[in-house]
């Protein structure tokens, strides 16, 4: 064997020295965060420790500074965990999510808040809203739209009855796998469990590979994963978290029909979020029932050159044929051009409710 140019022991010694330095610096950073907490509570006994705008800035800065060899997303993920641990030192954060354990919503919650946050599964979207509203948890995470299947109406409807603010968004690439347990007879799969949205996202693959298998819709992918533990002829479609939670094997990976399949989740809380420098705003607008109403609503966005990223219509529930519009656009309510545009929209509509301005998803 040829001699490598650098000796392995030497390299490991160098890694040990670097690790000691990283350890010292992380501890120094953590002490700094503890002091930040003291400063925050000295200013205000009701201080809010989690600062989404600052977290977005920290992560964006790291990504911009990074020159490799680790890619910027990977680097940001490491810093995400460091910040999550620092925040837990200031105040442990409790987050409710649409459960059960092992769902993509839990994955989104951990991606956004990091592993040091305490995440609590809820049985339904309105329960997530209720827990946050009641102050039992600090924040909530709910799905709002999927790139293949469209909006989650239940989430939009919950905003109509709630005073909760949107304080962040997180986009998750959704990869579905066909999962089996160690006792499954893989050549005898006659039943597949999953959530209806997941079936819809894997329709072509299932038609091609398991046209005869019965498709059984259940309340979540995690529930599908749980059910097959005891059925030797069944498989489940679910993601990595569910596979890990129930100790299942992937017999086919990434079976979603569209490779860019992703879901957007919203973070809900009590506070308004200051500008981060790259923000989005979400609104609900009720229009008067008159000709040209939609055109009147959209015109100020166009004139102020505000980039609308989403427009959804939902029945308003106050009258048979009244509709409300859910609108997302780029910008923050504290920006003068956004404030001016909103003023015009208010005049033209029956009601405008700002659901929140928040940093655009970083990771």
How much is the CA Rg of the chain, to the nearest whole Å? 24
- Distance of closest approach, residue 61 Cβ to ligand PRE, in angstroms: 11
Nearer to ligand PRE, 80 or 226 (CB): 80
Closest CA to 267 of 197, 363, 178, 185: 363
CA distance 94 to 140: 9
Nearer to ligand PRE, 53 or 145 (CB): 53
Q: Which residues pair with 267 in a beta bridge?
A: 141, 168
Closest CA to 349 of 280, 282, 298, 310: 298
Size of the site for ligand PRE (CB under 6 A): 12
Helices (H), the chain: 8-43, 52-65, 72-90, 104-113, 125-134, 153-160, 196-201, 203-209, 221-227, 240-245, 293-303, 336-348
- Distance of closest approach, residue 49 Cβ to ligand PRE, in angstroms: 6
Nearer to ligand PRE, 17 or 32 (CB): 32
Nearer to ligand PRE, 55 or 328 (CB): 55
Nearer to ligand PRE, 58 or 151 (CB): 58
Nearer to ligand PRE, 86 or 125 (CB): 86
- Distance of closest approach, residue 68 Cβ to ligand PRE, in angstroms: 23
Dihedral in degrees, nearest 10, Cα atoms 163, 270, 140, 58: 140
- Distance of closest approach, residue 33 Cβ to ligand PRE, in angstroms: 5
Q: What is the DSSP string of 42-111?
A: HH-TT-----HHHHHHHHHHHHHH--SSS-HHHHHHHHHHHHHHHHHHH---EEEEESSTTSHHHHHHHH
- Distance of closest approach, residue 90 Cβ to ligand PRE, in angstroms: 6
Q: Which of residues 80-119 bind ligand PRE (CB under 6 A)?
A: 83, 86-87, 90
Nearer to ligand PRE, 193 or 358 (CB): 358
Nearer to ligand PRE, 76 or 255 (CB): 76
Backbone phi, then psi, for 85, in 5-degree steps?
-70, -40
Residues 42-61: x where in contact with ligand PRE by CB under 6 A, - otherwise, as a string: -------xxx--xx--x---
CA distance 315 to 21: 58
- Distance of closest approach, residue 335 Cβ to ligand PRE, in angstroms: 22
CB 176 within 8 A of CB 255: yes
Enumerate residues 6+ apart whose C-beta is below 8 A from 129. Answer: 140, 142, 158, 162, 164, 268
Residues 14-43: x where in contact with ligand PRE by CB under 6 A, - otherwise, as a string: -------------------x--x-------
- Distance of closest approach, residue 23 Cβ to ligand PRE, in angstroms: 17
CA distance 25 to 39: 21
- Distance of closest approach, residue 63 Cβ to ligand PRE, in angstroms: 15
336-348 vs 293-303: helix axis angle to the nearest 10?
170
CB nearest ligand PRE: which residue? 86
Contact positions toward ligand PRE, by CB under 6 A? 33, 36, 49-51, 54-55, 58, 83, 86-87, 90
């Amino acid at each position: 064997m040829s001699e490598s140019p650098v000796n392995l022991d030497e390299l490991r010694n160098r890694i040990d020295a670097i690790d000691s330095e990283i350890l010292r610096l992380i501890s120094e950073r953590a002490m700094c965060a503890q002091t930040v907490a003291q400063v925050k509570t000295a200013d205000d006994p009701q201080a809010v420790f989690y600062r989404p705008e600052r977290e977005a800035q920290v992560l964006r800065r790291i990504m911009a500074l990074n020159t490799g060899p680790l890619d910027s997303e990977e680097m940001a993920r490491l810093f995400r965990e460091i910040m999550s641990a620092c925040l837990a030192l200031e105040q442990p954060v409790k987050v409710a999510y649409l459960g059960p354990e092992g769902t993509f919503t839990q994955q989104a919650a951990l991606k956004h808040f990091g592993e040091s946050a305490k995440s609590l599964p809820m049985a339904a979207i309105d329960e997530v809203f209720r827990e946050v509203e009641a102050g039992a948890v600090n924040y909530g995470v709910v799905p709002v739209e999927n790139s293949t299947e469209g909006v989650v109406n239940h989430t939009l409807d919950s905003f109509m009855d709630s005073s909760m603010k949107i304080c962040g968004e997180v986009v998750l690439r959704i990869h579905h796998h066909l999962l089996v347990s160690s006792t499954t007879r893989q050549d005898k799969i006659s039943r597949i469990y999953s959530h209806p949205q997941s079936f819809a996202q894997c329709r072509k693959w299932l038609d091609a590979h398991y046209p005869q298998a019965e498709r059984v819709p259940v309340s979540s992918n995690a529930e599908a994963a749980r059910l097959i533990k005891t059925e030797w002829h069944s498989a489940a479609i679910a993601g990595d978290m569910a596979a890990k939670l129930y100790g299942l094997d992937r017999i086919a990976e990434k079976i979603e029909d569209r490779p860019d399949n992703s879901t957007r989740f919203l973070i809900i809380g009590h506070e308004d979020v200051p500008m981060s420098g790259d923000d989005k705003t979400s609104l609900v607008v009720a229009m008067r029932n008159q000709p040209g109403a939609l055109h009147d609503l959209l015109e100020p966005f166009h004139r102020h050159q505000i980039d609308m990223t989403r427009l959804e219509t939902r029945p308003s529930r106050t009258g048979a044929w009244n509709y409300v519009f859910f609108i997302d656009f780029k910008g923050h309510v504290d920006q003068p051009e956004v404030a001016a545009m909103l003023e015009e929209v208010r005049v033209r509509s029956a009601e405008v409710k700002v659901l929140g301005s928040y940093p655009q998803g970083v990771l």
